[in-house]
Amino acid sequence: MKPIAMLGVVLIVAGIAGLFFSHVSWTETKPVLDLGPLQVNSHENHTVWIPTAAGVMAVLAGLGLVFAGKRST
């Protein structure tokens, strides 16, 4: 398989994943105070939203790259 077609497949998979998972969330722990056995931590929640249009565009671009890779044989 040509590299351009492989990139297309990766874009298709990433686009479909972006359509199924509309956001990615994680919690970050930061130390605030550390005095020997006493530790105080801060937890911050982060969320990144993935627009639906970005997922659709990734799938369409991936399909275009797959077809371009197959045509240039």
pLDDT of residue 73: 56
pLDDT of residue 1 exceeding 90, the answer is no
Q: What is the dihedral of CA 28, 31, 37, 38, to 10 degrees?
A: -100
21: which DSSP letter?
-
> pLDDT digit string (tens) for 12-53?
999 999 999 989 999 999 999 989 889 999 999 999 999 999
DSSP state of 30: E
The model's confidence at residue 69, banded by pLDDT at 50, 70 and 90, is: confident
